[in-house]
Structure 1
Amino acid sequence: MKIPDPSQAHWRKSTHSGANEGECVEIAELNDHVGIRDSKNPAAPQLTITRQDFATLLTHLKR
């Protein structure tokens, strides 16, 4: 499956980013992948990983 162009994706800020606009992360659903980027610098390169790897990442971060 082709990964959609991240520049055309609907990015949303993490609910865990906090209200002070400090360390903010945005994610976008890209078919069977997830895009991750820094909300303060959306033009910078983003990380694109599979949904399974994203779930694994979240599991490790919650520990």
Structure 2
Amino acid sequence: MNTEQPARLDWFKSSYSSGEGGACVEVADDATAIHVRDSKDHGGPQLAFGRSAWSGFVADLGQDRI
């Protein structure tokens, strides 16, 4: 995980996100990482994950858990 903030990213929210101020994150990508931030705090901290770590995380979201 890298906490360095790149100069310019194009952020987006999930199409499932409503505009009603709920808890949501925004995601952006660049050549080396996937960046995540709080949608209500654009100037706040960001997390950056390597592409393989992010792919594994997203794949796990689709798995049934008991």
Larger-Rg structure: 2
- Structure 2 residue runs of 5 or longer lacking an equivalent are none
| Root-mean-square deviation (Å) | 2.0
Please state which structure has a larger fraction of its residues in helix.
1
Please state which structure has a larger fraction of its residues in strand.
1
- Structure 1 residue runs of 5 or longer lacking an equivalent are none
% identical equivalent positions = 29
Counting matched residue pairs gives: 59
**What TM-score results when the alignment is normalised by the length of structure 1?**
0.75
**Shift >2 Å, 4+ stretches:** 60-63
Q: Which has the higher contact order (CA 8 A, sep 6+)?
A: 2
**What TM-score results when the alignment is normalised by the length of structure 2?**
0.72
